[in-house]
Structure 1
């Protein structure tokens, strides 16, 4: 049996459009979730990504690789989050131009609180739509896409 080849151009475009529109629809619903009254979704994304750092600290430019905002926008957001007492920064010891970021204890607590509500909201939105097998399939497909982009 021959290996399947690449998808036709039109199917690829239709699938991308569908994925993008589904993501937009879900994000619009998530923005209305009451858990994001305390912190904007984009600001929460920064806290979430910082919470996943194994050492607790990450470089500003590494954080920027996980977000959909420009470096100048991230720098301004970092200043706002630092002013709110949610993150801290310091110079990278091996590179005086580098900036390291980490959550404060207050930031970690807020991320956990919002995160727990956020997960319940996502489950309420997607749980009734996709069964367990479909969730596994969605996870596998989106992971495959993401990993292929990281290797380019």
Structure 2
């Protein structure tokens, strides 16, 4: 009996996830076309954005990788390209001499902020017509709750 009762819940979970995923795909496709991502690819911007939120300014590659949807080898190559562009810097980890930490350079921070300001406005223009401010708050609450639930397991 319990299995029969869980079938509608399983279907609802699946359909909700599919809706969330398809919405993200649609938004990401539109965002890729935005002019701010002509200066820097969206994935590269994502690296700069995540680095800009590191409490100390520095992070290990594997810690940064936890926030991104990219493989560790791909991230390593991307960091090399960003370093060659003068946007990130590396150093030997202070607590573990075998590790490497990365951080934004001043140029990287300035570019992240420049793109970020424009990007936030474009994102608002794209999404704001669809939901009220209260609905956006509800969406944030629900997605934060889902992410927190995943961390607890």
TM band (smaller chain): over 0.9
SS at match of 1:133: helix
* Gapped regions of structure 2 (runs ≥ 5): 1-5
The offset of 1:151, in angstroms, is 1.9
Question: 1:88-144 CA deviation, whole Å, 9 max, x = no partner?
Answer: 001102212211110000000000000001101110111110001100110000100
Pairing of 1:1-150 with structure 2 (within 5 A)? 8-150=9-151
**Aligned length, in residue pairs:** 148
Deviations 1:1-25 (A, max 9, x none): xxxx9x7111110000000000000
- Which secondary structure does the structure 1 equivalent of 2:98 belong to? strand
Aligned CA-pair RMSD: 1.4
Q: Which residue of 1 aligns with 2:3?
A: none
Structure 1 gaps of 5+ residues are none
- Take 1:151 and 1:74, find their aligned partners in 2: how far apart are those partners? 26
Structure with more contact order per residue of length (Cα contacts < 8 Å, sep ≥ 6): 1
More helix by share: 2
| CA-to-aligned-CA distance 1:35-77 (integer Å, 9 cap, x gap) | 0000000000000000001111111110000000010000000
- Measure, in 1, the Cα distance between the counterparts of 2:13 and 2:123: 26
Question: Which portions of structure 1, spanning 4 or more consecutive aligned residues, are displaced by more than 3 angstroms?
Answer: none
TM-score (norm. length: structure 1): 0.94
SS at match of 1:101: strand
- 3-state SS of 1:97 partner: coil
